[in-house]
Homo-oligomer: A and B are copies of this chain.
Amino acid sequence: MSRAKTTQTPAPRATIRDVASAAKTGKTSVSRYLNGEQHLLSDALKERIERAIALLDYQPSQMARSLKSGETRLIGLIIADITNPYSVEVMRGVEAACRQQGLTLLVCNTNNEFNQEKHYLQLLSSYRVDGIVVNAVGMREDAISSLQQSQLPMVLIDRKVANFSCDVIGLNNAEATTEVTQHLLDQGFEAILFLSEPVTINTRLVRLHTFLKQMQKEPQKFAEQGEVELNDSAGLEKLLLNFTERYPDKRRAVISVNGALTLVIARTMRKIGIVWGKDMGLLGFDDLEWAELAGVGITTLKQPTYDMGYAALGQLVKRIQGSDEPIQEHAFSGELIVRGSTQPI
């Protein structure tokens, strides 16, 4: 009967030294074995090492390895809100690209909290990841300066950050918003309400501005704008009702600045009995997996999110490899997916 297992400490992990001595050789040879320089080893030795590794269930410590080499082959991804399908698709794109490059992705969700963002930024940096892809909440002076200095390669997704010069991958917001607005106009809508979460983010600002500008081209039509917090459905309700009252005999439509908001708007409309595609037009940025299932369907502006993530990593790798080309701002085109919610009323 084996009572080998005493209540000792749970057996510390085997180190390269343990393997070496078990294989009756030096650490160097083991290291060589591990690093593909096997052609330098005699078959006999290889055998012994192999056995020793298996026996001890040895796993090299990446910590030690990276400490030595200075390279980690790790990429950090900071995501503002993992709840958002947009972010998830970005992540999948980054991930696929990483895999292809033999990099490993570490994902950090900031939950839209600035402090978390700072925390993770520091963490990743202190673990010496090779680079970071950031879908930022926003950044303040302190975070910026420390990041700017730490020469950590970095690329931003979707959101530009003021005073922070850095590659950015995003949507061509001007183009997309123009298309979206024009579509509504073409469909015969006469009063359009642009709904947004607080316009704190560059992206939203550009969309709003472009919307306003585009609307000016048909001065007889009415442009409105409203700001709501995602959780303030009462406020949203009021906004919608008010909009309806102000343009009782016009053909009305709403533009939602992003997917999360579109969901809330749809819920609210349903609650107060506004039927999209009939009482009011509805169009949202970001495609939604359920867009076709909701009533007559919801028209959306789909972003090539996956590709954007993929491209972001590509750009990052360039920087990691020391590219000195000037700051890039790559803007992807969106795709308007027309569904029932913007049919002529």
Contact = CB atoms under 8 A, between A and B. Distances in A.
Interface of A: 10-11, 13, 57, 59-64, 66-67, 72, 82-83, 88, 91-92, 95, 99, 104-109, 111, 116, 119-120, 122-123, 125-128, 146, 149-151, 263, 266-267, 270, 288-290, 292-295
Given A61-B126, A63-B127, A151-B11, A109 B109 contact: no
A81 to B, nearest CB: 10
A150 B293 contact: no
Nearest to A297: B270
B10 A62 contact: no
Contacts of A66: 63
A57 B126 contact: no
Contact of A263 (B105, B120, B289): B289
**Copy number of this protein in the oligomer?**
2
B294 A293 contact: yes
A76 to B, nearest CB: 10
B108 A107 contact: yes
A59 B270 contact: no
B295 A128 contact: no
Nearest to A62: B126
B151 A10 contact: yes
Nearest to A73: B123
Given A67-B64, A270-B292, A109 B82 contact: no
Nearest to A72: B63
A88 to B, nearest CB: 6
Nearest to A10: B151
B290 A293 contact: yes
B270 A290 contact: no
A152 to B, nearest CB: 10
A8 to B, nearest CB: 12
Contacts of A126: 59-62
21 contacts: A57-B149, A59-B122, A59-B125, A61-B128, A62-B123, A62-B127, A63-B63, A63-B66, A63-B72, A64-B67, A82-B88, A106-B106, A106-B107, A106-B108, A107-B109, A263-B290, A266-B290, A267-B292, A288-B290, A293-B293, A294-B294
